Amino acid sequence: MNEDEVRKSAFAGIVPEHFGALKRFALSLCRNEEDANDLVAGTFLKAYEKFFTIKDERKMRQWLFRIMNNHFVSNLRSRKNLVSLDAVESGNGSSEADSFSLFEAIAKSNFVESGTPEKEFISKLTMIEIETAIGELPVEFRQAFVLCDVDEFSYSEISAILNVPVGTVRSRISRARSALQQKLWLQAREMGIRKAEKILPKSEYTCNCGSEESIEKTAIS
């Protein structure tokens, strides 16, 4: 076998193994099917070219995601669409959005259709609503958030994929979660999910810390 045949043989299993995850990441980055397919194809072709340069095959998944992200960022830069990193990091959003809690919003609202309105809210959320809200996040937040919450990479792996410090990864994920929750809340309100009329006073939802009240469930895995 010549070098190309060896490489093709070794690479054969890579596409089916990682296609699904890369396609989903590409969709979250590009937000349309056609560009996502191009990005996936470009990623695998680039990976194929550089296949013999990977030193640790256990990091194959991380390596492929890094190639995809670099390819995506490079495309964006060439289109001059990339939002300045500094603009995102230093603000470009309200502090309200950075600290928004969907749980608190539901608790303080009149969304009461059962004894556990928060659980009911989550059960009513559709995957399309979630995808739409993620798609509206600034691209730097979207990258870090999806790599963490959908693809389950660790902070250090995300740091390597995005080529940013771990602290930046943590900050982006935290801000992405708050922003996403705010978007889900606004979506829900627009769609009239918050429809029940029973209004509970806000004081019922204030923190019980320090009170006599305790709960039986203590272990959260």
Helix axes 33-49, 14-30, angle to 10 degrees: 140
Q: Which is nearer to another protein, 10 or 83 (CB)?
A: 10
How many other CB atoms sit within 10 Å of the CB of residue 70?
15
Q: Which is nearer to another protein, 23 or 31 (CB)?
A: 23
The alpha carbon dihedral of 148, 152, 157, 161 has a sign of: negative
Q: Which is nearer to another protein, 82 or 97 (CB)?
A: 97
Q: How far is the CB of 80 from another protein (least distance, A)?
A: 28
Cβ atoms 139, 179 nearer than 8 A? no
Q: How far is the CB of 20 from another protein (least distance, A)?
A: 5
Q: How far is the CB of 52 from another protein (least distance, A)?
A: 14
Give contact residues for another protein (rule: CB under 8 A): 4, 8, 11-12, 15-16, 19-21, 23-24, 27-28, 37, 40-41, 44-45, 48, 101-104, 118-119, 122, 125, 127, 130-131, 134, 148-152, 154-155, 170, 173-174, 177, 181, 205-209, 213-215, 217-220
How many other CB atoms sit within 10 Å of the CB of residue 17?
13
Q: Which is nearer to another protein, 78 or 123 (CB)?
A: 123
Q: Which is nearer to another protein, 37 or 75 (CB)?
A: 37
Following DSSP, what letter does each residue of 85-123 receive, concatenated? Answer: HHHHHT-SS-HHHHT--HHHHHHHTT--SSS-HHHHHHH
Q: How far is the CB of 193 from another protein (least distance, A)?
A: 15
| CA neighbor of 25 nearest in space, from 135, 118, 108, 163 | 135
Question: What's the CA gap between 38 and 158, in Å, rounded?
Answer: 23
Q: How far is the CB of 107 from another protein (least distance, A)?
A: 9
Q: Which is nearer to another protein, 74 or 154 (CB)?
A: 154
Question: What's the CA gap between 29 and 65, in Å, rounded?
Answer: 12
Q: How far is the CB of 57 from another protein (least distance, A)?
A: 18
Q: Which is nearer to another protein, 76 or 125 (CB)?
A: 125
- The C-alpha angle with vertex 149 and arms to 57 and 151, in degrees rounded to 5, equals 25
Question: What's the CA gap between 128 and 27, in Å, rounded?
Answer: 13
Q: How far is the CB of 39 from another protein (least distance, A)?
A: 11
